[in-house]
Amino acid sequence: MPKDIVCSGIRPTGNLHLGNYCGALKNFVKMQDEYDCYFFIADYHSLTTHPTPDNLYQNARQILIQYLAAGLDPERATIYFQSDLPETIELYLFFNMNAYLGELERVTSFKDKVRQNPNNVNAGLLTYPTLMAADILIHKATKVPVGKDQEQHLEMTRTFAQRFNNMYGAEVFPLPQAFNFGTDLVKIPALNGTGKMGKSEGEASTIFLTDEPSVIRKKIMKAKSDSGPTMMNQPKPEEIENLFALMRVVSSKDTVDYFDDLYNRCQIRYGDMKKQLAEDMVVFIEPLRQRILEIGSDDLALRRIIDLGKEKARVSAAATIHEVRHVIGYRN
């Protein structure tokens, strides 16, 4: 039986962090054995925010390096730059011909961007969902591992796929679904006491895979805590629960139990707990950081990986475009 096809993209807006690593990346690594996987770096989507040429390339390259360091395998999965797949753009054009202004204007992420940046409401932003649909449907992917914030984009992908199929009376495209491999993702909290680790909570609250030990120590020692429990065996306030959640990711069970017990007996000293957390975090992140440096220093090997990804991605994309052109009526 043919394997299900998985496709996911990431915008290269910065370094990957512990939340990415424990969530999406761990799942991607598991998926590459079960499915036919296409993981790409969305360096066309990047243009909506007008990066400089050097930033565009360096940011995309850095994400690729971090994917590889996290265990994605260019042999088992297809890992590529979106800009190496011009077929995507052709499909994007076809979808744009049948995407309505009204439905594009109603997309929440578009409305947010208009509000945040009223002077840069470009057509690329408006057609973000048709480009994303092209990314996914160019491989006829059925499973798309993305977070809740992408649900609406995925809904539009299904709309464009269905519309195309109806229009030409052909079952060209599947209707892809959001997908989480296995059970619930571990939620990695930010260091500022609220919210998830990630861009929105700021760099000081986020542990990046590229953070040096001294940076990790500094960030964790500054993490939000409080003056400590005053009654035995009480539930923990959010910022304290968050420290424990991070500890459960990087420390041994004995260590977590030790501090949990001190907490319940009102004898915890958060300075001590954070020191331990910082050391365990360093042990967790440092091998990844070293891998990133190592992979990043071998430009030739990286080139080969980029070429391999491009080659593999284009096989699937070319087949789809061939079929689509025929169905639309091109005979040249």
Task: In angstroms, give the least distance from the CB of 83 to ligand TRP.
Answer: 12
* Closest residue to ligand TRP: CB criterion: 9
Task: In angstroms, give the least distance from the CB of 178 to ligand TRP.
Answer: 9
- H/E/C letters for each residue in 295-313? HHCCHHHHHHHHHHHHHHH
Distance of alpha carbon 197 from alpha carbon 193, whole angstroms? 10
DSSP string, 211-251: --HHHHHHHHHTS---S--SSTTPPPPHHHHHHHHHHHHHS
DSSP string, 246-284: HHHHHS-HHHHHHHHHHHHTT---HHHHHHHHHHHHHHH
Q: Which residues bind ligand TRP (CB under 6 A)?
A: 7-11, 42, 45, 132, 135-136, 144, 146, 150, 153
| Residue reference for tokens 């391999």 | 308
In this complex, which beta carbon is closest to ligand TRP, that of residue 26 or of residue 291?
Answer: 26
Task: In angstroms, give the least distance from the CB of 55 to ligand TRP.
Answer: 18
Task: In angstroms, give the least distance from the CB of 9 to ligand TRP.
Answer: 3
In this complex, which beta carbon is closest to ligand TRP, that of residue 137 or of residue 209?
Answer: 137
Report the catalytic residues.
113, 196, 199
Beta strands in the chain (DSSP E): 5-10, 36-41, 78-81, 143-144, 177-178
First to last CA, the chain: 34
In this complex, which beta carbon is closest to ligand TRP, that of residue 60 or of residue 216?
Answer: 60
In this complex, which beta carbon is closest to ligand TRP, that of residue 176 or of residue 193?
Answer: 176
